[in-house]
């Protein structure tokens, strides 16, 4: 499963694949980048870690939702 990160980069929010410096998506606000990431992940399997303005992970989302490990027994 691929890992992606949404982080703030100066005055914009960006989505990058873990280990790659290329920006896949950028937006002006965190809400916009989360919405655009949702569309981007429709054809992908991965985990998206959403960082706050302090750089710490505040939320993690798995796409598609049925791949979320918390939904499985164990």
What pLDDT, on a 0 to 100 scale, did the predictor assign at position 64? 81
Does residue 72 form part of some domain?
no
CB burial of residue 30 (10 Å; 0-12, 13-18, 19+): middle
Q: What is the pLDDT along the chain (74 residues), one digit of tens a residue?
A: 899 999 999 999 999 999 999 999 999 999 999 999 999 999 999 999 999 999 999 999 999 876 555 554 44
Does residue 20 form part of some domain?
yes
Does residue 34 form part of some domain?
yes
Domain count, the chain: 1
How many residues does this entry show for the chain?
Answer: 74
CB burial of residue 5 (10 Å; 0-12, 13-18, 19+): middle
What pLDDT, on a 0 to 100 scale, did the predictor assign at position 74? 40
Domain limits for position 27: 2-67
Tokens 């992606």 identify what position?
Answer: 4
The two three-digit tokens of residue 21, written as one number: 């410096």
What pLDDT, on a 0 to 100 scale, did the predictor assign at position 1? 86
């Amino acid at each position: 499963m691929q890992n992606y990160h949404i982080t703030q980069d100066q005055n914009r929010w960006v989505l990058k694949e873990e280990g790659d410096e290329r920006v896949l998506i950028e937006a002006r606000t965190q809400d916009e980048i989360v919405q655009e990431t949702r569309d981007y992940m429709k054809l992908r399997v991965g985990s998206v870690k959403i960082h706050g303005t302090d750089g710490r992970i505040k939320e993690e989302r798995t796409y598609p939702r049925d791949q979320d490990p918390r939904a499985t027994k164990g």
